[in-house]
């Protein structure tokens, strides 16, 4: 087996079989957008019938030169180890018998699905705005029997029946290809499993790996729902210090090196939960080197990394300041993909990263569709869990997303959409930054321009408060929060996002989102927040 | 407070406030289909905006004369007791402040949902078949901004954004009204919560009530997924004997009366899982008296009852035999509703029933939408769980079902659809029964005609097998299964559905579904099964 040459371009679609000596060696052949149709042809017949068993293995490059993922048996929870494959689903193997009539499974007949078709009106590639979609969008009809009628790879008769815990073959093919195009994981046996969104995915991952009394490590400020999902399971979060690039690897290492099982009341942690890009709430983005350092610490302490990346494609154009023209958009798909900080998954030679992707921030939350990418062992445990809980995402969502992403836009059109979305969020971020520069007193408020995501994290110089040292920081925080509401603006207090709830809070932050409000509203909101802040701090411009 | 008179009709919509003495007393006013619009008017403004907080309480009859549900604190698991309300969702109360600009929550803007509209083609009431829908179905357009444009109570901008763990206000209103029309629970503080299907609902209920080492009671043959969902949580199923009407109350009582905590290795069970109508796999349906007896035993032992009812509306027309004309369809909605065996929920004066309903069998499994009905205490714990796992069903599913069920068909049209579906399943059942009567030797096979559901349960006289007593029953079962596959028919062996997996199996059953295969295929399948059965039993017609 020959390792890949470092000189080979990152995104190539070779598909060449070289012969070295007497054994056939398959060269690295990472998928590109343009290689997708050839790959599909090469992979042969597609099985996407009702509740068809499927796997990413059917849709990936064969890359036998890559290492296999590590095994994680020693990390599985009692619950997960005990979970067996469904006996009824085991009977599915007989369904391939030619001429067999099945009175086995309780799948209803599609005759009784009261939908003849559904039609979606969606943007044409390159004309993505709401206004453009009205004018130039396309109506796409999804019929009940499109597959037997040769109109599509997916239809209502299939998508609206029961499915598999993996998600449908049709959508799994798309996300597997997309994942290979963007991340091309450097180990062999990675797979994707479609879930009903990353909150559900995270709940399952905790239950697959953690026992009561365990700790999960994260940034010191983190996604509140991640903490609240873990807490009732008896799993506590531990915060690691952050800087403008997020989680500090040395602090992570020290926490683990100095772990005292008795003092801490739990075994040494082995799960790191991190949001590398546009972290919620701090908006910080780990650079490439930072990610490599974090990965090395994970290797040193044999951690599993849950890489939660809803904002990965909301990595923005660089901030050019209040009066400079915006940075130019990427000219090609390659330029776009190369402009993204490489994911932890992309550097994961061990199969220790469980990446969570989601369509919530880039298509719509109401689709309730995300996916994980992880080693086949972890994916298998995950699917077993889906089978006895969420089963699979809604068929309406799956068939609509498949028709839009796979058959209408295709991989290149989807990347164009992502470039569009990121440009829009860049503009929104710039508005809020300009408002902050205009209204917030520098002496009281400071920030790093977010490089990704939806959140702007404002540090308040709490030591400037007249009562600093006399009152608790969370009391001052609450004063600012209440004064803001009085001024008719809602900002999220930083303490809501503390990884460790019981530790006394000594810093003062507020999180503002630039995702939803209209531009002029955002500016006005920051103006109001400034008034509230100055009032609470008894601050006058002359200060 | 005056208790309801027993002479009042079951489904009335009084809405009258009578005055007795000095205090106003509200008479019982159960909702009927025709009373829905008056009720909505009376309830006033409907709040169905993006992620609007909602509750069944907004949509129910006020029935202050009914008793309140019992409290279940002593039954909650450690996990469920520890689950707190989300701090971020707590901030939602400020959103009502007039003029407030929120930079709080990370809700994306609907500007970036790439769907201008979706359109569905669905049956017109009374012309429900697939062929009729092609000809006379209606196209219904669901726009992005239908709500501000005054076209509908629900649109894509709302449904495709984040939602609440209760499900959307729009769909929750429909299912709450539907539940009141059909079941009118006899206690005050019942509510509905929409979930992503009953498998997920059941998984959550186990986690809300059970600890490792607990037992759940069910019919001795039960839905395999219910057992497989519980097993990894350390929760074992215990089977209670059944007859043609399902679970035998005396056997349930005896199991509990004789419970020996030490011998059993677990505390006395307090959760009964039952499928009262068209039980899977036995097809049995508990009659009204049977249900009352089961409820009494539940009261005696303070059980919670999980009433899993996917097939409730597939209660069929009576079986009239091979050559008799089919029984006439119900002439009115009241006649239809009165023809259904009353649910356990309908007799639940204590709030001890947690009913699980699902659209999977009557609309489509791919909607991934069901709902629970239970006391407000249990619903609150359930919602807290949804918030940190599934969140809410897909917006596509919710908005499509709402448009179809609420705004297109309405409650009466939906009941008409259910009457149609039940007629179709009646015909399918009759085909399989006629095939069994024709092909299966009476001496080897016996059955009770199913009165509901999708399943026909065939008992095989295992004692007629030449090796009976010499070989295990499951070995003979496997012989029949393998011989059937050889004859090109798949039937599900009864042992797959045993509640207690480790107990040796002494009876021989096969389950056939009449849900999916075409009529002629079902007949042929039974013919083939008969051949296989006779071969294994070395049976000749002359016997």
- CA torsion sign, A227 to A230 to A234 to A238? negative
The complex's ipTM? 0.94
Q: Assess contact for A180 and A10: CB atoms under 8 A.
A: no
- The answer to whether B109 contacts A515, with C-beta atoms less than 8 Å apart, is yes
Q: Is the pLDDT assigned to residue B10 strictly greater than 60?
A: no
> Among B122, B229, B490, whose Cβ lies nearest the Cβ of A91?
B490
> Among B123, B232, B492, whose Cβ lies nearest the Cβ of A114?
B123
pLDDT of residue A323: 77
pLDDT of residue A516: 86
Range list for CATH 3.90.1150.10 in chain B: 443-537
CA distance B113 to chain A (A): 6
CA-based nearest residue to B400, from A151, A404, A116: A116
3-state secondary structure B100-153: CEECCCCCCCHHHCCCCEEEEEECECCECCHHHHHHHCEEEEEECCCCCCCCCC
- The answer to whether B101 contacts A528, with C-beta atoms less than 8 Å apart, is yes
What is the rounded average pLDDT of the residues B61-74? 94
CA-based nearest residue to A193, from A37, A354, A31, A396: A354
Q: Assess contact for A239 and A221: CB atoms under 8 A.
A: yes
Distance in Å from the first CA to the final CA of chain A? 69
Q: Is the pLDDT assigned to residue B330 strictly greater than 60?
A: yes
Q: How far is the C-alpha of B106 from the C-alpha of B162, rounded, in Å? A: 9
Q: Chain A contact for B486, CB < 8 A? A: no
Q: Which of A112, A113, A117, A494 to mutate to test the interface with B (most CBs of B within 10 A)?
A: A112
Q: How far is the C-alpha of B192 from the C-alpha of B80, rounded, in Å? A: 18
Chain A residues near residue B228 by CB distance under 8 angstroms: 84, 86-87, 387-388
If one looks up domain B34-97+128-422 in CATH, what number appears? Answer: 3.40.640.10
Q: How far is the C-alpha of B97 from the C-alpha of B94, rounded, in Å? A: 6
State the CB neighbour count (10 A cutoff) for residue B539. Answer: 17
CA distance B474 to chain A (A): 15
- The answer to whether B128 contacts A114, with C-beta atoms less than 8 Å apart, is yes
Q: How far is the C-alpha of A62 from the C-alpha of A191, rounded, in Å? A: 12
pLDDT of residue B95: 81
Q: Which of A394, A397, A415, A527 to mutate to test the interface with B (most CBs of B within 10 A)?
A: A394
Please provide the size of chain B in residues: 543
If one looks up domain A443-537 in CATH, what number appears? Answer: 3.90.1150.10
CA-based nearest residue to B279, from B236, B321, B226, B317: B226
Q: How far is the C-alpha of B327 from the C-alpha of B325, rounded, in Å? A: 7
Q: Chain B contact for A201, CB < 8 A? A: no
> Among A79, A114, A488, whose Cβ lies nearest the Cβ of B122?
A114
CA-based nearest residue to B297, from B230, B244, B248: B248
pLDDT of residue A86: 77
- The answer to whether A396 contacts B394, with C-beta atoms less than 8 Å apart, is yes
Which tens digits make up the pLDDT trace of A376-389?
Answer: 999 999 999 999 99
Least confident of A101-105, A364-368, A369-373, B448-452: A101-105
pLDDT of residue A318: 84
What is the rounded average pLDDT of the residues B156-179? 97
> Among A79, A128, A517, whose Cβ lies nearest the Cβ of B233?
A79
Determine if the peptide bond prior to B281 is cis (ω within 30°): yes
Percent above pLDDT 70 for chain B? 94
Q: Is the pLDDT assigned to residue A58 strictly greater than 50?
A: yes
pLDDT of residue A30: 80
Q: Please tell me which residue of chain A has the smallest CA distance to B230.
A: A388
Q: Chain B contact for A369, CB < 8 A? A: yes
| pLDDT bucket at B93, cuts 50 / 70 / 90 | confident
Least confident of A46-55, A221-230, A401-410: A46-55
| pLDDT bucket at B17, cuts 50 / 70 / 90 | very low
| pLDDT bucket at B23, cuts 50 / 70 / 90 | very low
CA distances (Å), A236 to each of A211, A213, A216, B222, in order?
Answer: 11, 7, 6, 37
Q: How far is the C-alpha of A473 from the C-alpha of A459, rounded, in Å? A: 13
- The answer to whether B391 contacts A404, with C-beta atoms less than 8 Å apart, is no
Range list for CATH 3.40.640.10 in chain A: 34-97+128-422
CA distance B191 to chain A (A): 22
Task: Report helix, strand or coil for A13.
Answer: coil
Burial of B64 (0-12, 13-18, 19+ CB in 10 A): exposed
Q: Chain B contact for A123, CB < 8 A? A: yes
pLDDT of residue A25: 45
Q: How far is the C-alpha of B513 from the C-alpha of B518, rounded, in Å? A: 11
Chain A residues near residue B406 by CB distance under 8 angstroms: none
CA distance B452 to chain A (A): 14
Q: Please tell me which residue of chain B has the smallest CA distance to A114.
A: B122
| pLDDT bucket at B115, cuts 50 / 70 / 90 | very high
Chain B residues near residue A121 by CB distance under 8 angstroms: 115-119
CA distance A129 to chain B (A): 7
State the CB neighbour count (10 A cutoff) for residue B302. Answer: 15
pLDDT of residue B28: 56
Task: Report helix, strand or coil for A219.
Answer: strand
Q: Please tell me which residue of chain A has the smallest CA distance to B456.
A: A103
CA-based nearest residue to A36, from A333, A298, A373: A333
> Among B394, B421, B490, whose Cβ lies nearest the Cβ of A104?
B490
Q: Chain A contact for B471, CB < 8 A? A: no
Q: How far is the C-alpha of A435 from the C-alpha of A444, rounded, in Å? A: 15
CA distance B24 to chain A (A): 41
Q: Assess contact for B305 and B352: CB atoms under 8 A.
A: yes
Kindly state the DSSP code that residue A497 receives in the 8-state scheme: G
- The answer to whether B86 contacts A225, with C-beta atoms less than 8 Å apart, is yes
Which tens digits make up the pLDDT trace of B248-289?
Answer: 999 999 999 999 999 999 999 999 999 999 999 999 999 999
Q: Chain A contact for B57, CB < 8 A? A: no
Burial A393-429 (b: 16+ CB within 10 A, else e): bbbbbbbbbbbbbbbbbbbebbbbbbbbbbbbbbebb
Task: Report helix, strand or coil for A328.
Answer: coil
pLDDT of residue B542: 62
Q: How far is the C-alpha of B296 from the C-alpha of A403, rounded, in Å? A: 52
- The answer to whether A364 contacts B492, with C-beta atoms less than 8 Å apart, is no
Q: How far is the C-alpha of A518 from the C-alpha of B492, rounded, in Å? A: 58
Q: Please tell me which residue of chain A has the smallest CA distance to B128.
A: A114
Q: Which of A130, A202, A396, A478 to mutate to test the interface with B (most CBs of B within 10 A)?
A: A396
Q: Which two tokens stand for residue B284?
A: 């049995």
> Following DSSP, what letter does each residue of B452-507 receive, concatenated?
BSSEEEEEE-GGGSTTBTTB-HHHHHHHHHHHHHHTTEE-EEGGGGBS-TTSPP--
Q: Is the pLDDT assigned to residue B506 strictly greater than 50?
A: yes
Which tens digits make up the pLDDT trace of A20-55?
Answer: 343 444 455 689 999 999 999 988 889 899 999 999
> Among A232, A394, A516, whose Cβ lies nearest the Cβ of B83?
A232
What is the rounded average pLDDT of the residues B419-447? 96
Q: Which two tokens stand for residue B82?
A: 């520890």
Give the ranges where A402-454 is alpha helix by DSSP (H): 410-439
- The answer to whether A397 contacts B396, with C-beta atoms less than 8 Å apart, is yes
Q: Which of A51, A80, A101, A490 to mutate to test the interface with B (most CBs of B within 10 A)?
A: A101
Q: Which two tokens stand for residue A34?
A: 């343009």
> Among B84, B101, B232, whose Cβ lies nearest the Cβ of A489?
B101
> Among B101, B119, B203, whose Cβ lies nearest the Cβ of A118?
B119
Q: Assess contact for B120 and A113: CB atoms under 8 A.
A: no
Q: Chain A contact for B106, CB < 8 A? A: yes
Q: How far is the C-alpha of A354 from the C-alpha of A298, rounded, in Å? A: 13
What is the rounded average pLDDT of the residues B367-386? 98
- The answer to whether B79 contacts A389, with C-beta atoms less than 8 Å apart, is no
What is the rounded average pLDDT of the residues A491-515? 95
Question: What are residue A459's phi and psi, to 5 degrees?
Answer: -90, 130
- The answer to whether B133 contacts A114, with C-beta atoms less than 8 Å apart, is yes
Determine if the peptide bond prior to B227 is cis (ω within 30°): no
- The answer to whether B163 contacts A366, with C-beta atoms less than 8 Å apart, is yes
Q: Please tell me which residue of chain A has the smallest CA distance to B524.
A: A101
Q: Chain A contact for B528, CB < 8 A? A: yes
Sequence-distant (6+) residues with CB within 8 A of B87 are: A224, A228, A496
Chain B residues near residue A234 by CB distance under 8 angstroms: 78-79, 82
Q: How far is the C-alpha of A127 from the C-alpha of B488, rounded, in Å? A: 53
Q: Is the pLDDT assigned to residue A299 strictly greater than 50?
A: yes
Distance in Å from the first CA to the final CA of chain B? 69
Chain A residues near residue B82 by CB distance under 8 angstroms: 231-232, 234
Q: Chain A contact for B313, CB < 8 A? A: no
- The answer to whether A367 contacts B111, with C-beta atoms less than 8 Å apart, is no
- CA torsion sign, B360 to B363 to B365 to B369? negative
Q: Chain A contact for B94, CB < 8 A? A: yes
Kindly state the DSSP code that residue A500 receives in the 8-state scheme: -
CA distances (Å), B524 to each of B433, B481, B520, in order?
Answer: 13, 16, 6
Q: How far is the C-alpha of B155 from the C-alpha of B287, rounded, in Å? A: 42
Q: Chain A contact for B136, CB < 8 A? A: no
- CA torsion sign, B199 to B305 to B194 to A104? positive
Least confident of A74-88, B54-68, B77-91, B334-348: B77-91
pLDDT of residue B67: 97
Burial of B331 (0-12, 13-18, 19+ CB in 10 A): exposed
Sequence-distant (6+) residues with CB within 8 A of B470 are: none
Q: Which of B366, B397, B435 to mutate to test the interface with A (most CBs of A within 10 A)?
A: B366
Q: How far is the C-alpha of A201 from the C-alpha of A191, rounded, in Å? A: 15
A51: left (phi over 0), alpha (psi -120 to 50) or beta: left
């Amino acid at each position: 087996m020959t390792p890949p040459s470092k000189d080979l371009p990152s995104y190539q679609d070779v598909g060449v079989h070289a012969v070295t000596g007497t054994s056939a060696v398959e060269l690295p052949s990472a998928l590109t957008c343009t290689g997708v149709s050839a790959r599909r042809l090469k992979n042969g017949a597609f099985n996407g019938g009702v509740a068809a068993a499927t796997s990413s293995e059917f849709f990936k490059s064969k890359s036998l030169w890559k290492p296999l993922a590590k095994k994680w048996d020693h990390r599985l929870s009692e619950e997960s180890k005990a979970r067996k494959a469904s006996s009824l689903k085991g009977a599915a193997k007989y369904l391939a018998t030619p001429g067999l009539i099945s009175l086995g499974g309780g799948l209803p007949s599609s005759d009784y699905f009261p939908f003849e078709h559904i039609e979606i009106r969606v943007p044409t590639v390159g004309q993505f705005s709401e206004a453009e979609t009205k004018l130039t969008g396309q109506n796409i009809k999804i019929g009940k029997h499109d597959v037997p009628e040769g109109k599509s790879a997916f239809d209502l008769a299939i998508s609206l029946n029961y499915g598999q815990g993996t998600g449908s073959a049709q959508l799994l093919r798309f996300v597997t290809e997309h994942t290979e195009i963007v991340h091309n994981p450097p180990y062999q046996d990675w797979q994707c499993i479609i879930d009903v969104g990353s909150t559900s995915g995270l709940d399952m991952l905790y239950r697959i790996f953690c026992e009561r009394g365990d700790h999960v490590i994260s940034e010191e400020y983190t996604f509140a729902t991640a903490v609240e999902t873990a807490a009732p399971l008896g799993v506590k979060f531990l915060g690691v210090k952050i800087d403008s690039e997020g989680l500090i690897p040395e602090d992570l290492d020290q926490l683990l090196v100095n772990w005292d099982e008795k003092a801490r009341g739990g075994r040494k942690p082995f799960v790191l939960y991190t949001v590398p890009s546009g972290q919620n709430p701090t908006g910080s983005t780990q650079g490439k080197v930072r990610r490599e350092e974090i990965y090395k610490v994970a290797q040193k302490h044999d951690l599993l990394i849950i890489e939660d990346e809803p904002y990965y494609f909301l990595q923005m154009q660089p901030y050019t300041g209040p009066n400079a023209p915006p940075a130019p958009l990427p000219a090609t798909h390659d330029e776009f993909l190369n402009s993204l900080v490489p994911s932890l998954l992309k550097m994961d030679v061990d199969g220790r990263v469980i990446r969570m992707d989601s369509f919530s921030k880039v298509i719509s939350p109401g689709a309730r569709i995300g996916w994980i990418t992880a080693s086949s062992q972890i994916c298998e445990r995950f699917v077993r869990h889906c089978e006895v809980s969420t089963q699979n995402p809604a068929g309406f969502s799956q068939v609509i997303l498949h028709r839009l992403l796979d058959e209408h836009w295709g991989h290149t059109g989807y990347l164009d959409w992502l470039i569009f979305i990121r440009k829009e969020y860049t503009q929104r971020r710039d508005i809020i930054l300009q408002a902050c520069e205009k209204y917030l007193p520098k002496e009281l408020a400071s920030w790093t321009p977010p490089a990704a995501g939806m959140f702007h994290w404002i540090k308040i110089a709490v030591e400037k408060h007249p009562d600093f040292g006399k009152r608790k920081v969370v009391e001052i925080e609450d004063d600012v929060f209440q004064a803001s509401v009085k001024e008719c603006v809602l900002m999220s207090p930083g303490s809501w996002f503390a990884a460790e709830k019981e530790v006394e809070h000594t810093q003062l932050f507020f999180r503002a989102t630039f995702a939803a409000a209209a531009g002029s509203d955002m500016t006005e909101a920051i103006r109001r927040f400034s008034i509230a802040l100055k009032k609470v701090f008894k601050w006058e411009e002359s200060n």
